[in-house]
Amino acid sequence: MTPRERLITALEDAGWLWLTDVTKGHANPTTIMARWGNRRLAICIYAYRVTAEGKTRLGGRRRIQMTRQPSTAPLVHQPGLATLMVGWDEAHGVFLAGDPWPKRFGGKSSSVFFEPATAIEAAKAGWSETTRPDGHRVCAFDPNEAAQFVDWVFRLHERRLRLVVPDEIHEVSDDARLLVFETPARRPQSGGTRVRIDDDIVIADDKGRPVLDGVWRAEFLEALPDSRSVDRIEHLHLHVKRVGFVDNLEALIGVLG
């Protein structure tokens, strides 16, 4: 049974009814829409088997490794769909799931890593979740805890307020700007790789000082590849519009920073 088939079975056992046909096999990604009572679930999943971290590294971490072509094509992201990376860890008998968004520009082979304790705790208690230092939010769960996994998915994709530090800002109109992030994967502190469509953001410089008044909403993301290598993102363009103002922007930046 493939990891995707295992997840579908676990969700069915938790009472979810499918609104779309789910084909069997290994194709990635797969869009799944289901309902349970009045709740609706719409997810786009990249499903793989969990493996041990590379032999040249120490620590015994587990990982879900995603391969895609071309590597400059971001993960599939559509309004109303939650994009996830899910893996089946045969060694512990649990699913591992992660938010692949921060690494959507990671090249041909992107991995989300899990500390050993995450899988071990889920094997004992049925559930475990954490946020890694690199910003990845991950969880592990027994198939019988699929309902808790669904709750985690909904929380994962709620609109968030984020701080970003762009390299350039271009005025499009009074209430619209184009933010440019250079080599965003190498500058995670800029926040550019973590912003999702519909997130609210405040904009500061590298010293934590406000650059633009108010709160802005991410409307569109565009990744521009390096002319020297199709496997590297050179610039990330984020289109934003102003949605409101705050009384003390400096204090808000201090909290978010």
Residue 55, pLDDT > 80, answer no
| Angle between helical axes of 146-156 and 3-13 (0-180°, round to 10) | 100
Do 177 and 127 lie in a common domain? no
Do 50 and 68 lie in a common domain? yes
Q: What is the pLDDT of residue 58?
A: 53
- Find the distance separating the first CA and the last CA of the chain, reported in whole Å: 44
Residues spanned by the domain of 242: 161-256
| pTM of the predicted protein model | 0.76
Do 145 and 166 lie in a common domain? no
62 or 152, higher pLDDT? 152
Do 250 and 138 lie in a common domain? no
Q: Which two tokens stand for residue 47?
A: 């499903």
Split into its structural domains, the chain has a count of: 2
Do 76 and 137 lie in a common domain? yes
Do 56 and 22 lie in a common domain? yes
- The number of beta carbons lying within 10 Å of the beta carbon of residue 106 is 19
Q: What is the pLDDT of residue 115?
A: 86
Q: What is the pLDDT of residue 23?
A: 58
128 or 250, higher pLDDT? 128
Do 15 and 123 lie in a common domain? yes
Q: What is the pLDDT of residue 84?
A: 86
Q: What is the pLDDT of residue 72?
A: 47
230 or 63, higher pLDDT? 63
Residue 230, pLDDT > 70, answer no
Do 50 and 103 lie in a common domain? yes
Q: Which residue is listed with tokens 């997130």?
A: 199
Answer with the one of 156, 183, 218 that is the final residue of a domain: 156
Contacts of 170 (CB under 8 A, 6+ apart): 177, 178, 179, 180
Do 21 and 74 lie in a common domain? yes
Do 71 and 167 lie in a common domain? no
Q: Tell me the pLDDT tens digit for each residue of 87-127.
A: 999 999 999 998 877 666 655 556 777 888 999 999 999 99
Do 212 and 166 lie in a common domain? yes
Going from the C-alpha of 180 to that of each of 19, 78, 148, 221, 224, the distances in angstroms are: 39, 22, 37, 10, 10
Residue 241, pLDDT > 90, answer yes
Answer with the one of 122, 156, 190 that is the final residue of a domain: 156
Answer with the one of 140, 156, 172 that is the final residue of a domain: 156
Do 168 and 195 lie in a common domain? yes
Q: What is the pLDDT of residue 24?
A: 55
8 A C-beta contact, residue 82 and residue 158: no
Mean pLDDT of 2-22: 86
Q: Tell me the pLDDT tens digit for each residue of 147-191.
A: 999 999 988 888 888 899 999 999 999 999 999 988 766 666 677
Residue 57, pLDDT > 60, answer no
